[in-house]
Every structure is written in C-alpha cells, then in structure tokens.
Amino acid sequence: MRFGKSRRNAVSRTAHSELRPKDRKLDPIQVLLSSVDGRLPQLLPLKYSRMSSSPFAFFRGAVSIMAADLARLPHSNLNVQLCGDAHVQNLGSFAAPDGKLIFDLNDFDETIYGPWEWDVKRMATSIILAGREAKQKRSTRRAAAEAFVESYCRSMAEFARRPILQVARHLIHREERIRPIHAALRQSERAKPLDFLEKYLQVDGRGERRFRDGRPDFWRVTGQEAKDVLSSLNTYRDCLSPERRHLFDLFRPVDVGFKVVGTGSVGLRDYVVLFEGNGPKDPLFLQIKQEVKSAYTPYLLDLVNKHQGQRVAEGQRAIQPLSDLLLGWTVFGGREYLVRQLNDHKGGIDLKTLKGGGLKSLAVVAGELLARGHARSGDPCMVRGYCGSGSKIVKAITDFASQYADQTEADYAKFMAAIKNKKIKVAGEAAA
C-alpha cells in the first residue's frame, strides 16, 4: 500500500483530470483508419456505418483513438490486466460453467497488462456518453460517473483487506434489483441455442442441418475455407484441459458459417461452427473469432509476444472468476483466433433501460466488477494506496470523462464529415 501511495509523487491524483487538448497532435480519423489493417476490406463500410449511428457507437468502435490519447497523458504505472474496452455495453449476462446466469464484463479483445485507470477512464466516459444517448440530465450523468468511480475505489479498498482467495471468488448477488441488469438477465433466459438454430439454419434434402445463405450479416462457408476452419479444431482441442476436452469430444461438427458481429470487431474473420451432441436438438455453436494485437500494444511494454487468441482467453480468465467452459484458441491461414461459445444464454445492456436511476445503479455494479477484475489480476493494496480515500480521484476521473465525452463528440463530427466528403465509405443509408 505504501508503494501505491508513493506513486502520487510521480503522478498526482488530480492529474487524472487532464486531457491537454492543445498537446493532442494525433488526427483521430487517421488513427482510426490505420487501425483496420488486416481486416476484410469489403466489411469496413459496414463497420463505419454502425459507428455512424451515434457518438456512443463511434466511441465503441474507436478504441484505437482513446488508447493513443491515454498513452500521451499521465498514468500511475500501477498495472493490472485491463479489459481494454470497458464500456457499459461491454457488460452483459451469460451462463456460468454451472449453468447459472451471471452478469459481468463479456468482451476482452483489447485485454492487456496496463495502468488500472485506463479501464476506469474508458468506462466513466462511456457512462457519460450513454447518459447523453439516454437523454439524461447533465447532473444525472455526472452523478452516475461519480458513483462508478466511488464504487471502484470502495470495492478496491475492501478487496485490499480481504484474503486473496475471497477476492478471487467474489461474486455480486444484487443484480436482479437493478433494472438494466434485470433486463439483460431476462434476455439471457430467453437466448437459447435452439433459437439461434431456428434463425440461421435450415434442413437440406438429406435431412442435415445447414446454415442459411442470403443474409448480409451471416452466410454459409463451404469448400477449402470450411475445411481449414474444421481442421483448426484439432489445435483448439489441444489447448483445453482434459475434462473439457472430453466434453468437446462428445459433439460432432456439422456445418460452418461466417457472422458479422459487433462494432469494433467488424472486418475481422468470425466463423461459427455448428455441432450436434445428443441429437439435432442438442446444438453447440462455437465462435472462432480472429484476434489481432490489442489497440494498446504500441504504447505498453508487452513482455510476452503471445498468440493473440491466447492473450484474450488468458486475459479473460485473469479478470473473471467464472468463464466460458469451452474458452480456447486456435490458428489457421496464418491468423490467430479465439474460440468460445457463441450463444450460451447471452444478454446485453439496452441503452433505453438507462432511464431514471438505471444509469447510476448500473454504474455502481460496473465499478465493483472492474475493481474485482483488477484486484484478481493486479495488486489491490497498491491501487488502494494510490487512490486513498477516493475523493480526489473520483473528481479527477469524472472531470476527465466529461471532457473526453465532449472530445469524442468532436471526433464523431469529424468522422461524419469524412463520410459526407466521401473519404470514408459506409454501407447502406445509416449515415444519411
């Protein structure tokens, strides 16, 4: 704790309010365009179209811009396993290994070891932007961001006092009473593999289930590409623990599809493999998702040059007490992939539920979840020592979040101007 407190001499807690716009040399649009190397060019207009729908959607798809900004500002140098893309719609519900529905962070594509406050600043900014999109008053948005940082600091102080194994196992049990989380959990209850089966599959002339063609966001994969995907399952199987390998072996692969998902991930290769277990009404869908280096990699000393799918899987396990039973990784075609279940009762946050006290209630839980992930993967005593009572860091990060939300809206305006001037091509009429 003493070392954490001593870090204030190098970077004061009030310094975290600084945005330093006059020192910002980067061109946000150029940073964004440079971050999509290696993606399928034909899908980039769809990515930009999705980002064009609102400043919050732009923020979701522009991690590379915020990473560049955070790297040029003062930081504590107290490192934890970062989620990397902490925002309110990266909170959701899914089935734990025991089948119970839990609520947690649910996407770790950008995970990396780095300064704890980078996650906190990104989540706080997302709370301000989500509040704006939900038409919340300025005072309500600020109160929610403050509540998030207060919850983070309070939780970290508690984790610093607890036995290590208690911290590692810590679960939150009050989510049902919070409207946005209750809605996500109810969505998860309804989101079953059989629903996905009916939406995306059909039965061919031989009675076999096959993925449907004809959707702009999902199509069937055949030929050598499908063979390559299926062959990669051997590498994936090798990364599983023996008991999970046995579970995986009980399923047989049936067909391969390609799915366009999310906002930040659009353009990366994202395959879906249908498996059948105990008959056709026992489906398993595995997502085989291309992973590239974290947006933060250029700014952090990455001591281990890992397989990128392995980086994501191991980062998720470090942060979460309960992860997907079949989480793993593979490689084929010179690219690295994360493997996970596509639809195991997943549900997400709807910004429309963030009315009234919903935003603040969600923010409090987000603070506890983020603190737990950081305490599991870093040293809670050092972070606690740095934060102190919390009042200075709460004000500083909330001030930063408000300023960065304004900057995001300014960057979004530049993005929309680039679309209007035909410098960026979008799909459909989303940006009209």
Question: Is the whole model's pTM more than 0.85, yes or no?
Answer: yes
Do both 115 and 151 map to the same domain?
Answer: yes
374 sits in the region (left: phi over 0; alpha: psi -120 to 50; else beta) called alpha
Residue 189 confidence (pLDDT): 55
Residue 293 confidence (pLDDT): 94
∠ CA 344-85-372, rounded to 5°: 75
Is 291 a member of any domain?
yes
Do both 123 and 6 map to the same domain?
Answer: yes
The region of weakest confidence among 187-196, 201-210, 378-387 is 187-196
Is 292 a member of any domain?
yes
DSSP 3-state of 84: coil
DSSP 3-state of 336: strand
Long-range contacts of 60-64 (CB under 8 A, 24+ apart): 60/85, 60/87, 60/89, 60/263, 60/264, 61/32, 61/263, 61/264, 61/266, 62/28, 62/32, 62/408, 62/411, 63/35, 63/110, 63/264, 63/295, 64/31, 64/32, 64/34, 64/35, 64/295
Is 432 a member of any domain?
no
Does 195 score more than 90 pLDDT?
no
Do both 316 and 394 map to the same domain?
Answer: no
State mean pLDDT over 86-91.
Answer: 92
Do both 209 and 300 map to the same domain?
Answer: yes
Residue 192 confidence (pLDDT): 60
354 half-sphere exposure, CB direction, 13 A CA radius:
27
Q: For the chain, state the CA radius of gyration.
A: 21
Give me the sign of the Cα torsion angle 99, 255, 348, 390. positive
Do both 282 and 357 map to the same domain?
Answer: no
Do both 51 and 65 map to the same domain?
Answer: yes
pLDDT tens column, 150-179:
999 999 999 999 999 999 988 876 555 566
Mean of the per-residue pLDDT values for the chain? Answer: 90
Nearest Cα to 82, choosing from 93, 71, 98? 71
Return the structure tokens found at 243: 């008991």
Does 239 score more than 60 pLDDT?
yes
Strands 270-277 and 279-290: antiparallel
pLDDT tens column, 380-429:
999 999 999 879 999 999 999 999 999 999 999 999 999 999 999 998 74
- CB atoms under 10 Å from CB of 37, counted, come to 8
Do both 327 and 392 map to the same domain?
Answer: no
Is 425 a member of any domain?
no
Do both 136 and 275 map to the same domain?
Answer: no
Q: How confident is the model at residue 430 (pLDDT cuts 50, 70, 90)?
A: very low
Residue 431 confidence (pLDDT): 41
Is 430 a member of any domain?
no
DSSP 283: E
State mean pLDDT over 266-289.
Answer: 93
Say how far residue 370 (Cα) sits from the centre of its chain: 12
228 half-sphere exposure, CB direction, 13 A CA radius:
14
Residue 2 confidence (pLDDT): 81
Say how far residue 207 (Cα) sits from the centre of its chain: 38
Domain boundary among 275, 307, 341: 341
Do both 156 and 285 map to the same domain?
Answer: no
State mean pLDDT over 234-263.
Answer: 95
Is 181 a member of any domain?
yes
Is 68 a member of any domain?
yes
Domain boundary among 307, 323, 341: 341
Q: pLDDT: is 249 or 208 the higher one?
A: 249
Does 47 score more than 70 pLDDT?
yes
Do both 17 and 145 map to the same domain?
Answer: yes
Q: Which domain holds residue 76?
A: 2-189+351-420
Does 335 score more than 90 pLDDT?
yes
> How many domains does the chain contain in total?
2
Do both 381 and 242 map to the same domain?
Answer: no
Does 432 score more than 50 pLDDT?
no
State mean pLDDT over 1-25.
Answer: 92
Is 429 a member of any domain?
no
Q: How confident is the model at residue 303 (pLDDT cuts 50, 70, 90)?
A: low
Q: pLDDT: is 28 or 304 the higher one?
A: 28
Domain boundary among 295, 323, 341: 341
Do both 245 and 333 map to the same domain?
Answer: yes
The region of weakest confidence among 94-98, 266-270, 280-284, 339-343 is 94-98
